[in-house]
Amino acid sequence: MSEVDRVVTQQVAQRVAPGVGKVLSGVEEAAESTKLWCGAAVAMACVGGWRGRTAAVAGLAAMTVAQLVSNGVCKQLADRPRPPKEWFPHDEADDRPDSSSFPSGHTAAAVGFTAAVLPVWPAAGLVCAVPAAMVAVERVQSGAHYPSDVVAGAAIGLAGAWLVRQTPRLALRHWT
């Protein structure tokens, strides 16, 4: 697995054009501290009526679950160093967190939000999928994460969205 991580990381870092890298970095910066997803939730709630409010709440709930699991639990248990700076032909790898590389909290939040919005409001979910994918690619391209960190973050995000979607059903089953 570590060899696959190395090869994919180096390929992504070398093949993303500098202009594309700047766009990816801009999207990641907007997603920092979940600003992008909170802004999307506000927009959905304001313009989407009942469906928009429902999608916004589901997205924010799934994002919160994903963040708690990825950053609050997994990063505390896994002390994985970030990819070596030598793998990157740019200086973006100099500006990355000191926390554990595993898993990608940015990706967990992005995928959790998007996966929870998608079943409620498919058009909004598809729109959210574009920056979510960009965040995932940027995390590898910039040297912040290995591809396996991003895959784990995406899995956590999907699990968070599933849990949010199932919670009302599970609660009804438990209390009836």
Q: What is the pLDDT of residues 35-48, one digit of tens each?
A: 999 999 999 999 99
How many percent of the chain have pLDDT more than 70?
A: 93
Q: By the 8 A CB rule, do 95 and 144 touch?
A: no
pLDDT of residue 41: 98
pLDDT of residue 62: 97
How many percent of the chain have pLDDT more than 90?
A: 61
Q: Is the pTM of this model over 0.95?
A: no
What is the separation of C-alpha 57 from the centre of its chain, rounded to a whole number of angstroms? Answer: 17
Q: What is the pLDDT of residues 72-107, one digit of tens each?
A: 999 999 989 988 888 887 666 667 778 888 999 999
Among 139, 156, 146, 143, smallest CA distance to 29 is for 139
